[in-house]
Amino acid sequence: MPSRDEIFEKVRSALVDALGVDEDEVTPSATMVGDLGAESIDFLDIVFRLEKAFGIKIPRGELFPEHILTSSEFVTNGKVNAAGLAALKAQMPFYDLTKFEQNPSVQNFPNMLTVEDMVRYVQSKVGA
Partner 1 sequence: MRWFWIDRFDEFVRGRNAVAVKNVSLAEEHMHDHFPGAALMPNSLIVEGMAQTAGLLVADAIEYNRRVVLAKVAGADFHFDAVPGDTIRFQAEILDLKAGGSLTKVVSSVDGRVQGEAELFFAHLEPGEGVPKLFEPEELLKWLDQMHIYDVGRDEAGQPLQRPDW
Determine the interface stretch with partner 1 among 24-32, 48-56, 81-89, 94-102 (rule: CB under 8 A). 48-56
Burial of 71 per CB tally in 10 Å (0-12, 13-18, 19+): middle
Which of 45, 79, 85, 96 is the binder for partner 1 (CB under 8 A)? 45
Closest approach of partner 1 to the CB of residue 83, in Å: 27
Neighbours of 44 (CB within 10 A): 12
Q: Collect all residues with Cβ–Cβ distance below 8 Å to 61 and sequence separation of at least 6.
A: 67
Which of 20, 34, 37, 93 is the binder for partner 1 (CB under 8 A)? 20
Q: Contact positions toward partner 1, by CB under 8 A?
A: 17-18, 20, 41-42, 44-45, 48, 51-52, 60
